[in-house]
Amino acid sequence: MLKLSEEIAALEANRGKYEKVFPGYITHIRFPRYKNIADGTRIDFTFPITALVGANGSGKTSVLNALYGAPARKSTGQYWFSTKVDPIEEGEGSPSRFIYGHRNPTLRAVVETRKARVRKSRAGRLDPNYWEPTKESTGDDMVEPVLHAGKNYSGRSKDRWNPVAREVLYINFRKELSAFDKYFYFGREPAPYSPPVKGGKVSARRITSKMDQVRNDAELLARVIEAEDTSYEYRGRKVATENRLLTAEELALVSYVLGREYEEARWIRHRLFKGDGGLSIVFKTEHGRYSEAFAGSGEVAVASCVVQILRAVRGTLVLLDEPEVSLHPGAQERLLAFVAKMARTRQLQVVFSTHSPHLVTALPDDAIKAFHQLDDGTFAVIPSTHPYAAFRRLGAVTGGQVRVLVEDWLAQQVVEHALRVLDDAAQASVFKVEYCTGGADAILKFQVPVLMSTPGHTLVLLDGDKKRVPQFVDPETVPPAEDSMLTTMIKNATNVEPQFTVDGGAAGADIAQLVKAQREYLAWLRKNVHFIPTLCPEELVLRAAGKADPAATTSQHHKQRLRSLAEELYGPGVSSARTDQHGEAMLAMNRGGSAELVVLAQALKNYLTSLQAQ
């Protein structure tokens, strides 16, 4: 129904133009002083879907609270307010505040609005949690705009830009509970049963437990369902405020996200189970009908999310707090695909907090903001990170790893030094480098045919002298009429004949299976086989140390040159292992000046980026 990668690619088409295409788009937010976020932290929203990733208590929800209060007629004080237990302490002349950017259509440029927590009296009472837009502050690095006298600028009030006008939808998935769950797991127990005194009236119904209350109210809920509207009354009051079947679109999307086929779902908001505005959903599948009391909590949360987002008007700011709650990995990815489609078709700007790698894997790096703790205990934000690296920072040690396969020990050391060139240690830790006995031929002949059907990601980095063609053939460009040429194409590109596991016998291999395997092999090579930027690792080491022989033209020349340098230090007859170790030591001392290591590091980063498009 939807494909996440295609929805992300469609959003990418407007890269750099979001503030012009999306009404009220918030381009960035920064925090001169705000909760536990490091002073001066800035988050740029360079993609219309932004994921906030970090440990518990790192400030993700605090950012969502600030964004909620950014537009006109919204206040962060609704979610962050002072109490005796958790007082908000303001510095002298330095209130809690945040500043955000948005495009002003009259000025045709991005302007900044500042919102601060101020002391305000309303209706004769002090409101300690009032947030209001304030004038530009040069102390917060705000620039007073150059305005033309006599020209009217929409959204400008004397010394400030007014808050952006847009709707906000804030969904906290930890609170998206059904009426049954809210009451049964979090509601108060009924008053204990007391036998009537002498002469007292004995009640026909004794509600002494939550189960009794549910059974009692379920009778009323059944009558509401039977009425199929909100007309049913109990004790002169309507029981339900909403009672309808999900529309065909709503039902199809709920079915898609949850990976189940629902025939219908009845949506009911009511006052039962001692709740206030509780939600019940009665689902129907081919196997029967059941209410939210028997449904998984994820079913209700997804249905509620889908309905609310479908109702959102164009340009709404959608804030999602931990949407992965109660959802399995497949449902999480499909939920993001739905959200991405709605962002594209309704111009919704979406920001969500998450602890789930499944919700960020398909996003571009700059859409992932990683929160990390500083030495003073506050939290700062890394503006762009690969999804694998983002969760390494959270302590994840399994999954999201890329295996790098090279020809020999020295090549392994070269790649590991290239990873040390990366300025992001978490990103570097994603890679695990190994070398294969038997070199390039063994990798291409035996390893790749196995890796083609192996889960996970493997990058093969061969020596530069193994590059026989400028680029591996794209099998999609080879017509079926040329299937007989696939063996030659592979041989020309690799100089080996891969060992495929196909049915055979006296008459030879099954041709259809062989052709299928050859096409998969070429496709795998094209995606996963790359080359170091020199003929061999020895050349890269020598270049880094400034000791390469300018007359050398082959890998053997470079290998011999490194051996000669090792013999100068250790004497004649030095072993190959000692020569490699000498080469690794040379590279370690000269890593910072190696242009080739920088090129190799970038190739590793590019491979990570390519995985998000697969």
The tokens describing 131, both together, are 């947030």
pLDDT category at 284 given cuts 50, 70, 90 is very high
**Strands (E) located in 418-505:** 431-435, 457-462
Each residue of 397-428: b (16+ CB within 10 Å) or e?
Answer: eeebebebbbbbbbbbbbbbbbbebbebebbb
Q: What is the 3 state secondary structure string of 501-545?
A: CCCCCCCCCCHHHHHHHHHHHHHHHHHHEEECCCCCHHHHHHHHH
Question: Who has greater pLDDT, 305 or 453?
Answer: 305
Q: Both 185 and 163 in a single domain?
A: no
Q: Is residue 396 part of a domain?
A: no
Q: Give the pLDDT mean for 547-558.
A: 96
Residue type (1 letter), 290: Y
Lowest-confidence pick of 75-89, 188-202, 468-482, 517-531: 188-202
- C-alpha distances (whole Å) from 382 to each of 36, 53, 253, 397 are 16, 10, 34, 20
Pairing of the two strands 26-33 and 41-44: antiparallel
d(CA 424, CA 421): 9
Strand partners, 381: 371
* pLDDT the model gives residue 397: 53
Candidates 323, 274, 273, 326; CA nearest to 295 is 326
- Backbone dihedral region of 259: left (phi > 0), alpha (psi from -120 to 50 degrees) or beta? left
Question: Is 180 exposed, middle or buried (CB count within 10 Å of its CB: 0-12, 13-18, 19+)?
Answer: buried
Q: Both 232 and 321 in a single domain?
A: no
Indicate the SS3 state at residue 555: helix
Helices then strands, counting H and E runs in the chain, come out as 19, 23
233-273: pLDDT as tens digits:
998 999 999 999 999 999 999 999 999 999 999 999 998 98
Residue type (1 letter), 569: L
d(CA 550, CA 380): 47
Q: Is residue 73 part of a domain?
A: yes
d(CA 493, CA 471): 9
Q: Is residue 199 part of a domain?
A: no
The parent domain of residue 543 ranges over 401-614
Q: Both 124 and 66 in a single domain?
A: yes
Q: Is the pLDDT of residue 503 over 70?
A: yes
pLDDT category at 387 given cuts 50, 70, 90 is confident
Candidates 540, 573, 565, 556; CA nearest to 413 is 540
Q: Both 562 and 613 in a single domain?
A: yes
pLDDT category at 338 given cuts 50, 70, 90 is very high
pLDDT category at 225 given cuts 50, 70, 90 is very high
Locus of tokens 């022989």: 549
d(CA 37, CA 380): 6
Q: Is residue 515 part of a domain?
A: yes
Domain boundary pick from 368, 391, 414: 391
Question: Who has greater pLDDT, 211 or 544?
Answer: 544
Locus of tokens 């991405």: 340
* pLDDT the model gives residue 396: 59
Q: Give the pLDDT mean for 497-502.
A: 86
d(CA 117, CA 131): 4
Q: Both 418 and 522 in a single domain?
A: yes
Each residue of 552-562: b (16+ CB within 10 Å) or e?
Answer: beebebbbebb
Q: Give the side-chain half-sphere CA count within 13 A for 559.
A: 13
Q: Which alpha helices (H) appear in 173-327, and where do they start and end?
A: 179-186, 210-227, 248-258, 297-311
Q: Is the pLDDT of residue 175 over 80?
A: yes
* pLDDT the model gives residue 217: 87
The tokens describing 183, both together, are 């009451």
* pLDDT the model gives residue 202: 53
Q: Is residue 301 part of a domain?
A: no
* pLDDT the model gives residue 197: 62
Q: Both 418 and 337 in a single domain?
A: no
| Average confidence score pLDDT of the chain | 90
Contacts of 186 (CB under 8 A, 6+ apart): 177
For the chain, what's the residue count? 614
| Whether 174 contacts 321, CB under 8 Å | yes
pTM summary value: 0.75
Rounded to a whole number of angstroms, the CA Rg of the chain reads 32
Indicate the SS3 state at residue 161: strand
* pLDDT the model gives residue 505: 47
Q: Both 238 and 350 in a single domain?
A: no
Q: Both 154 and 216 in a single domain?
A: no
Q: Both 222 and 251 in a single domain?
A: yes
Domain boundary pick from 352, 372, 391: 391
The tokens describing 255, both together, are 């079915």
Lowest-confidence pick of 138-147, 194-203, 496-505, 564-573: 194-203
Domain boundary pick from 391, 413, 432: 391
Helix (H) or strand (E) holding 556: helix 555-570
Locus of tokens 């009429």: 481
Indicate the SS3 state at residue 258: helix
88-147: pLDDT as tens digits:
777 666 899 999 999 999 999 999 999 999 877 777 777 777 899 999 999 999 988 888
Q: Is residue 198 part of a domain?
A: no
Q: Is residue 303 part of a domain?
A: no
* pLDDT the model gives residue 92: 63
Pairing of the two strands 233-234 and 49-53: unpaired
d(CA 164, CA 17): 18
The separation between the first and the last C-alpha atoms of the chain, rounded to the nearest angstrom, is: 18
| Whether 560 contacts 554, CB under 8 Å | no
Q: Both 272 and 123 in a single domain?
A: no
Phi/psi of residue 531, each to 5°?
A: -135, 145
d(CA 277, CA 284): 23
Q: Is the pLDDT of residue 506 over 50?
A: no
Q: Is residue 424 part of a domain?
A: yes
Each residue of 52-74: b (16+ CB within 10 Å) or e?
Answer: bbbeeebbbbbbbbbbbbbbeeb
Q: Both 468 and 531 in a single domain?
A: yes
In the chain, the number of structural domains is 3
456-493: pLDDT as tens digits:
889 999 999 999 999 999 999 999 999 999 999 999 99
- CATH number of the domain to which 80 belongs: 3.40.50.300
Q: Both 68 and 143 in a single domain?
A: yes
Indicate the SS3 state at residue 460: strand
d(CA 196, CA 277): 33
Q: Give the side-chain half-sphere CA count within 13 A for 609.
A: 12
